[in-house]
Amino acid sequence: MLRVDRVSKSYPTPRGPLAILDAVSMSLDRGESAAIMGPSGSGKSTLLYVIGALEPPTSGTVTLDGDDPWTMSEQAQAAFRSRRVGFVFQDHLLLPQLTALENVVTPALVHPGGVTDAVRDRARELLAQVGLADRADHRPAELSGGERQRVAIARALIGSPGLLLCDEPTGNLDRTSAAAVAGLLMDLHAQLNTILVAVTHSPALAGRFGRRFELDARRLVS
Ligand code: ADP
Ligand code: MG
């Protein structure tokens, strides 16, 4: 279970702390999905970064199945980020010089065993699941926008994370690819029984999530 408990976040600036989130709380059980909406600049990405342990909360706690990454050793925290959380960003952020398959296995570079044959097999399986079995050897420049985002989704899932975080995953795609990628995300979420949290501006996409939240004036409302 994901528990976000009275999380506040401010960024230090030359003119003093800039408050972004104020006592934000939410809880999601395994298998649940939540859409986060809200105007640009309202702190949606910041909230995802705090949930995914990329940024520490200024106060409050985030726990995944009872574990708080900010109480862990640096090594355990790195393992937490690479295995228990998957991130998909608006821009696919694939490495241009690597093939689709190589991109999918990159998070495993920091896994204890590294990129084993089992990891490569899992990556092929994931590429097949996102409909790209025959694109494994393509570089990002040889893929369409929707296909790149599918590779990014496969990469986010390589560590079999219990929590999948997506920051405007269809924001850069045309309508047809956006619908396909959104459908894929919902299917994968149902199959893998993860917790899915996605930031989106699309009411159609948000409508397919079990829970909907809106960030407004630094508070999260449902
Ligand atoms: P959203 O994703 O909803 O558009 P963000 O979470 O990206 O919003 O940003 C929320 C606010 O926090 C913005 O005003 C942004 O300028 C500010 N912000 C984001 N990151 C930083 C940072 N590292 N330092 C200072 N301010 C930041
Ligand atoms: Mg954002």
Q: Is the CB of 17 under 6 A from ligand 1?
A: no
Residue 215's pLDDT is: 96
Residue 92's pLDDT is: 83
Strand order from edge to edge, sheet including 59-64: 18-28, 2-11, 59-64
For residue range 125-172, what is the model confidence (pLDDT) as tens digits? 999 999 999 999 999 999 999 999 999 999 999 999 999 999 999 999
In this structure, of 87-91, 112-116, 146-150, the range with the lowest mean pLDDT score is 112-116
Average pLDDT estimate for 39-58:
96
pTM comes to 0.94
Residue 114's pLDDT is: 87
Please identify, by atom number, the ligand 1 atom nearest to the C-alpha of residue 44: 3
Average pLDDT estimate for 192-212:
94
What spacing in Å lies between the alpha carbon of 59 and ligand 1's midpoint?
A: 17
Closest CA to 98 of 35, 152, 30, 169: 152
Q: Is the CB of 51 under 6 A from ligand 1?
A: no
Residue 111's pLDDT is: 81
Residue 40's pLDDT is: 93
Residue 210's pLDDT is: 95
Q: Is the CB of 20 under 6 A from ligand 1?
A: yes
Please identify, by atom number, the ligand 1 atom nearest to the C-alpha of residue 43: 6
* pLDDT greater than 90 at residue 113: no
Please identify, by atom number, the ligand 1 atom nearest to the C-alpha of residue 38: 3
Q: Is the CB of 14 under 6 A from ligand 1?
A: no
18: left (phi over 0), alpha (psi -120 to 50) or beta: beta
Please identify, by atom number, the ligand 1 atom nearest to the C-alpha of residue 55: 23
Closest CA to 28 of 211, 183, 201, 165: 211
Max Cα–Cα distance, the chain, nearest Å: 53
Q: Is the CB of 42 under 6 A from ligand 1?
A: yes
Average pLDDT estimate for 74-79:
91
